[in-house]
Structures are given as C-alpha cells and as structure tokens.
Amino acid sequence: MPSSPAQQPTPDDPAQPVSDAPAPASDDHPASSRTATGPKSGRGAPGDPAASAPSRGPSLNRQILALAVPAFGALIAEPLFLLADSAIIGHLGTAELAGVGVASTLVQTVVGLMVFLAYSTTPAVARHLGAGRMADALRVGRDGLWTAAGLGILLAAVGAVVMPPVLRAMGAQGEVLDHATSYALWSLPGLVAMLVVLAAVGVLRGLQDTTTPLVVAGVGAAVNAGLNVALVYGADLGVAGAAIGTSITQWGMALTYLVMLGRRFRAEGVAVRTGWAGIRGHLTVGSWLMLRTLSLRVAILSTVVVATAQGAENLAAYQLTMTIFNFLAFALDALAIAAQALLGKELGARNLDRQEDRDAVRLLMRRLLRWGLGFGVVTGLLVGVLGPRLGFLFTDSQDVQALFGVSLLVVAVGQPVAAFVFVLDGVLIGAGDARYLALAGVVNLVVYLPLLWAVAQWGGAGAAGAVWLWLAYAGGYTGARAATLGWRIRGSRWMFAMA
C-alpha cells in the first residue's frame, strides 16, 4: 500500500557518510560538534545559522503544529488505503480476502522494517539545513534515495523467489495460497517505489516540509481506490488487479517526489549520481534503526501470541484495543516526526561546544515533551471516560465489549507514559542516536518478555488476563522504554551522536 528519513563535497562528489558513532569525550559531552557530513555548525559559522534555529523562531508552538498536523494526516492515509482495498477485495469472496490478508501482512512487514529509510534521512538533512548547508542537505537526501532504490530492487528480486514458500509457511494453502501468491508477486514492482517514497518523505521532513507528503498521500489514496475498482472489477483481474493498481499508484507517488526533488538538486548544483560512501553511511545508521524497529515488532508479535493463548474473546478484545492504541499512536508519531525535523535542524544550527547552545536544544526538547504529555493526559482522560462505553460500535458480543472496556482503562492510564516515549524516540532519532535506540530496544525486550511469560503462566483468561496483558505492555514494556530513553537524555552525549 502507499504509505502513508570539515570537507564539503563538490556537486560531483558523494557526500560523506552519516555516522551515529559517539565521539570520544568527557562523561557529559564530547569535545567537538562536527557532523559526519560537514563542518562544525553553530554561531560564528558563516551566515550565523543559529539565527534560523527553531528555538529562535517567532513561535515554537506554531512550528511544531505546522509539522505535526500534516504529518498526522499523511500517517492516517495508509490505514485508509488498507480499508479501501479490504472493502474492494472483500466483495470478491472469502478466499480472496484471506489471501490478501496474509500477503499484505508479509509485504507490510517488509516495508515496516524499511522505515529507517525515512528515519535515517530526516535528521541528517535537517542538521545540514540548520547549519545553512542546503546543498549538503540535498546530497544526503540524494544518497538516501539511491539507497532506497537499491534495496527495493534487491528485495523485489529476492521476494520473487521466496514469497511463495514463505506464504505457505505462514499457513496459506489451497485457494487462499493462490490468491496470496498472486497479490504478493504483483505487489513486488511497487516495493521499489514504496521504498523510494519512504526516503523522499524523509528528505522533505528534514527540509521541514510535511505538507507535501500529505498532499501526495491524499491524492495517492484517491488514485489507488479508483485504479483498484477499475482493475479488479472493470478489467476483471481480481486480486492481481488490486496489487497492480497499488503498484501503479506507488510508482506515481515515487516519480512525483523524484521530479520535485530533482528540481531542487538542479537549483543547488547537486549531481544526481552518488557514490558508495554516501550509501554506506545510510546503511550503517539504517541497520541500527532496523534493529530498533525489529525489537518493536517482536514485542507486538509476542503480545499477540499471549493474547491468542487466552482465548478467542480475549484475542478479539486485544485486537480492538490495539486498534485504538494504534490510532492514538498516529498522533504521537506526528509529534515524533516534528521532533525529528526540529531537533535535527536545531542541532545543525548550534555550536554544541557551548553550554548556552546545548541549553537551547534542551529548551526545544522540553517544549516537545510538554506537547506530548499534554496530549497523553487529554487522550488518556477521553479514552478512560468514553472508551469503555463505545464497545458496542465494534462488536455485538457483550463479553468482548466488557474485556475491551477494562483493557482501555489500562491504556488510558498509560497514555502519558506512551506520549513521553514517542516524543523522546523522535528526539533521539532527530539527534541521529540510532545505535543507542537499537541497543535500548534489546534491553526493553529483555525486560518485557519475562513479564509476558508470567502473564501467560499465571494471568489466566477473561478480564484478569486482559488486564494483566495490557499492564505488561502499556506498563511494563512502555515503562521500560520510558526508562531507557529518559536515562539517555539526562546528559548531553545524545546531542553528539552524529558528530
């Protein structure tokens, strides 16, 4: 589905690789604020880049909203794509819908693991932008686009071979397997475009533009729905038509971004070709971010396993509760995206050897945290008061409604902590602290998995099982993330992660 990243190189040379390795320094902060892709930034540099730092803008709140609101719109566009496709394919028959369900889960898992293409590009571009180095910002973005295209081609080629056996291993068989294989294979051409879209969105976020991705995603949603209806029913292509329509839409989005960014490259004299050094930098940071994402996926999948063992009613209630949790997460993700873009730009505009400039970065971080915590408190109250009364909208089962209600009460209490986690995650991604995030993700799993095991052994089923499961996830796992992220921001080393 379309988704809802000292020596300056010449225009013909690849940018220096982005690095997330911490620089040697004192216990609190290193001795240099050089970035891996350019010279030390901050006041005193030509053009006084600190003058354009977000914390010196006319209204920091307006800057946060200007990035977060369009980002939220773009994020919720992807579920709308999925909803439209499900409605279109659902009328073909049960086997078709089941096959697409299995195949789309596999494809979306691959795309989800590649989200680092956006998350590694955004902070690097933003830091150069903050330092007043637009050409270098675009070079880093160009390297990200080439990295995405190369990975997309590789994954599509591998997928053409391994998709059928993987789908069988996932349990698809007979007619369901036939439809799943058809959908997966026809989705592969669009995979290349989808990864390019991720990288392009990362570039634009780094350039402080979240409105363009919203427009492209919105148009893509409309085009995708129209194409799928025409190909599935008009051309009578069935499940394959849905995948073909989505692939065409993804390529349309990718080409739109490439044309737009190509104009910027030409305006700044940035060559289109790249080199291995720039791609290697993205892959280095990306590998850490992929480990971070993988740890999140393992946590969710492990939670589903325990919910499944509690019985059908508990699993149904878990699915409904996670749907609400994920919807709230879109808004928090939008704040995290604003944090990535603004923190990256702030760090690029500052001389981090100076205490006052480090304090300015902390000022921005605290403002973002206040926004997140405020949102967490408000949504927690709303979910706690209204959520348990709205179960009838999702299911007719009284038992599932009851389990859904008690689960939402736990989610409501945990919303402020979740907000703290999402915003700090964005802050550290914006600082390029990918290695720490990856290692912290492993630590969080070490804390969480024993809690899940205990719930599976002694939590039982029914209301008690649902409460214990969500206490483990919203309390234990999210709490572990809050602790590891909160510990990191106590000092200043995270500000130098890309130094």
Residue range 101-127, pLDDT digits in tens: 889 888 888 998 999 999 999 999 999
Q: What is the pLDDT of residue 395?
A: 77
* Confidence tier at 17 by pLDDT (50, 70, 90): very low
> How far apart are alpha carbons 290 and 478 in whole angstroms?
19
Q: Which two tokens stand for residue 46?
A: 């030509």
The domain locations on the chain are 60-274, 278-498
Q: What is the pLDDT of residue 51?
A: 54
Q: What is the pLDDT of residue 12?
A: 36
- Phi-psi group of 208: left, alpha or beta (phi > 0 → left; psi -120 to 50 → alpha; rest → beta): left
Whether residue 389 is predicted with pLDDT greater than 80 in this model: the reply is yes
* Confidence tier at 370 by pLDDT (50, 70, 90): very high
Contact 337, 423 (CB under 8 A): no
The DSSP result for 63-117, as a single string, is HHHHHHHHHHHHHHHHHHHHHHHHHHHHTT-HHHHHHHHHHHHHHHHHHHHTTHH
Whether residue 460 is predicted with pLDDT greater than 50 in this model: the reply is yes
Higher-confidence position of 414 and 89: 414
Whether residue 333 is predicted with pLDDT greater than 50 in this model: the reply is yes
Q: What is the pLDDT of residue 397?
A: 82
Tens-digit pLDDT profile for residues 240-284? 999 999 999 999 999 999 999 999 999 999 999 988 888 998 998
* Confidence tier at 56 by pLDDT (50, 70, 90): low
Cα-based distances in Å from 233 to 175, 225, 240, 243, 251? 19, 12, 11, 13, 22
Q: What is the pLDDT of residue 39?
A: 36
Q: What is the pLDDT of residue 399?
A: 87
> How far apart are alpha carbons 166 and 171 in whole angstroms?
9
> How far apart are alpha carbons 128 and 313 in whole angstroms?
51
Q: Which of 8-22, 352-366, 416-430 has the lowest mean pLDDT?
A: 8-22
Q: What is the pLDDT of residue 16?
A: 35
Closest CA relative to residue 422, chosen from 126, 68, 19:
68
Contact 115, 429 (CB under 8 A): no
Contact 458, 401 (CB under 8 A): no
Q: Which two tokens stand for residue 413?
A: 């209490």
Q: Across all residues in the chain, what is the average pLDDT?
A: 86
Q: Which two tokens stand for residue 366?
A: 């605290």
* Confidence tier at 499 by pLDDT (50, 70, 90): low
Q: What is the pLDDT of residue 308?
A: 86
Whether residue 50 is predicted with pLDDT greater than 70 in this model: the reply is no
Tens-digit pLDDT profile for residues 149-199? 999 999 999 999 999 999 999 888 899 999 999 999 999 999 999 999 999
* Confidence tier at 362 by pLDDT (50, 70, 90): very high
Whether residue 86 is predicted with pLDDT greater than 60 in this model: the reply is yes
Q: Which two tokens stand for residue 498?
A: 């890309």
Q: What is the pLDDT of residue 388?
A: 85
Contact 90, 99 (CB under 8 A): no
Higher-confidence position of 25 and 62: 62
- The pTM assigned to this predicted structure is 0.84
